[in-house]
A and B are shown apart, each in its own frame.
Chain A
Amino acid sequence: METDKNTVVPGRLVVELCGLALKNPVMTASGTFGYGEEYAPFCDLNRLGAIVVKGLSLEPRLGNPPPRIMETPCGMLNAVGLQNVGVRAFIAEKLPFLRQFNVPVIANIFGETIDEYRRVTEILTRAAGVHAIEVNISCPNVKKGGVAFGAHPDAAAAVTEAVRGETDLPVIVKLTPNVTDITEIARAVESAGADAVSLINTLTGMSVDIERRRPHLANVTGGLSGPAVKPVALRMVWQVVRSVQIPVIGIGGISTAEDALEFLITGAKAVQIGTTNFIHPAATMEIIDGIEDYMIRHRIGCMKDLIGSLQIVF
């Protein structure tokens, strides 16, 4: 659809993702936006495409000892270790706040065993106000579970199948970049019933304090995020988009509308904004506006005409 410049097309940014109608393709990334409440003073939560909350486990988790974060060139390392209030406290204490808003809530979940993933899914499916499940099989900062499931196609498929069997909600499986071939994992979770994949989680990294000859993080290694990872994330999105039929959600180092557009043009159906929230608490709002401006400027009437419009012609 060709539209005149400056014509306001209602719902120009709308995307349909696994049966959910999102106002726009911009979501927040798990672990970088708390439970939404933390950013409510700076963002109009109603304007977001979706809110993905901090990873939830069956029981509360303490997380790793400090120091947990370290800034690195154009990025940061974190080893939070999935500290969270537990799925029941989330439903009782955090979800009521989110229900006030007209925005889909995506619960990011984590388990040490396949059974834990299953039970967390079951509890969340019964709760009012959860619109989709994002299965984290890619956290590099915990000893058990997490990336152990995400690094092997069979294990990734087994977790996906278990979650799939427990819920009618859309199931998004979040992939780790810390593998040799991410498309192999993506195909495995697609076959196991995933409705979408999101990528990337953080890249495992490390940083050393040379004065004290100690690692900067108590966990020694941590997950790298922020602008530094963007080219790697984009390359992986490109690979996965061509390997699976299900929608791909692009994550990794997105700080501006231009960054988000790179992912969308490459074929991501939606994007998640992570570390950038820490730097510009209202970044998601500016990114949404920037995508709309771009579409007006380029006379693109709907997201369908933008997503995956990459042309490899020179």
Chain B
Amino acid sequence: MAEKPSIAIGQVMENRSVAPGHFLLTIRLPLSFATPIPGQFVMIRDPDRDEPLLPRPISVYGFQREEGHAILNLLCRVAGRGTSLFSRMNRGGALTVLGPLGRGFTIDPDVRQLLLVAGGVGAAPLTFLLQEGSLPEPHSGKRQVTAYLGAGTAELLTGLNRFEGFCDLRTATDDGSRGYHGNVTECLALDLAGYDAKSTLILACGPGAMIRSLALLLRDTRIRCQVSLEERMACGVGACLGCAVAIQEGEGRTGYRRVCKDGPVFDIGELLWNSPEESMSLS
């Protein structure tokens, strides 16, 4: 069960550049901040600025409790004005943190093989999943975890160190500078036949194009797959209905779900792909 979210004033302990346009924020929070579930996110905002107005959603990359406080890690990519300002925040700066929010990943006890598929900063929520204590134990035996990480270049494979040694690792880069030369879905496609559909679960997070190609790849298999989606948000708590994603409600009926509250994690089979232009704004 997810614990109740709260609003906290966090303090930036460290803000480190990890690759061009990518930075890792370490934020100190009060101990009362609820423990996030992998796949959950927070809404962050600089309380000392009047703009940007709206907070920005960022996945939990790491979370620990230390003496007297909680530590939150966020892995961010500079996408526009808001994230660019976050990237320039100094140690000691204040950030309003609302969270933890949303529905995270669900791993059934019958899953023996876990495949983590990420593109770019999509690795963030999956990294948190690997963090000690976050993965529930399987019913019996050991669970195999294999990560497929993709990025533009080797340099942009951020947070790799948090995967190395914790699971089997396959990498893919668009320029071939590390691992498979091509995108991460193609890399996964090469191995897919080797996994047992019944006991395998794929957890994925990345750009819209990656999720779309993954949906296409898995269409004719029975492998379960949960994806974490991104959409522009205002409230993050399910009130504004701004973060809609089109969902298949059975028998050709369409509905909209809130990425912030009903997601961000959805079963890939629920997503509407018939008219991606209309149903998904992810690109």
Residue positions of A touching B, CB distance < 8 A = 31-34, 38-39, 41-42, 54, 62-71, 73-76, 78, 80, 83, 218, 226-227, 275, 277-282
Contacts and interface: CB of A to CB of B under 8 A. Distances in A.
Contact of B237 (A39, A64, A218): A39
Contacts of A226: 53
Interface residues of B, number: 36
B7 interface: yes
A39 B239 contact: yes
A42 B43 CA distance: 14
B241 interface: yes
Given A69-B234, A227-B53, A280-B7, 8 more contacts: A32-B235, A33-B239, A62-B254, A66-B281, A75-B53, A78-B242, A80-B240, A83-B256
Contact of B51 (A69, A74, A218, A277): A74
Contact of A277 (B233, B239, B244, B279): B239
B255 A34 contact: no
Interface of B: 4-7, 45, 50-55, 98, 231-246, 254-256, 261, 278-281
Contacts, number: 108
A69 B242 contact: yes
Given A42-B7, A83-B256, A71 B54 contact: yes
Nearest to A84: B241
A76 B54 contact: yes
Contacts of B54: 71, 76, 278-279
A279 B240 contact: no
16 contacts: A31-B241, A33-B239, A34-B240, A54-B239, A66-B243, A66-B245, A68-B232, A69-B240, A78-B240, A218-B278, A226-B53, A275-B234, A278-B234, A278-B236, A279-B54, A281-B235
Contact of A278 (B240, B278, B279): B240
Contact of A63 (B7, B45, B256): B256
Contacts of A64: 244
Closest 6 CB pairs of A and B: A34-B239, A69-B242, A38-B239, A278-B235, A278-B234, A67-B281
Contact of A74 (B4, B53, B242, B254): B53
A34 B238 contact: yes
Nearest to A75: B53
B244 A76 contact: no
Interface of A is mostly: loop
A74 B279 CA distance: 29
A80 B234 CA distance: 12
Contacts of A68: 232, 241-244
B6 A41 contact: yes
A212 B194 CA distance: 40
A78 B7 contact: no
Contacts of A74: 50-51, 53
Contact of B240 (A31, A62, A66, A227): A31
Nearest to A64: B244
Contacts of A80: 240-242, 244
Contact of A83 (B98, B244, B281): B244
B119 to A, nearest CB: 20
Given A42-B6, A70-B232, A78-B234, A63 B241 contact: yes
Contacts of B281: 65-67, 218
Contacts of B237: 34, 38-39, 281
A83 B278 CA distance: 17
A65 B235 contact: no
Among the interface residues B45, B55, B231, B239, which one has the most CB atoms of the partner chain A within 10 A?
B239
Nearest to B6: A41
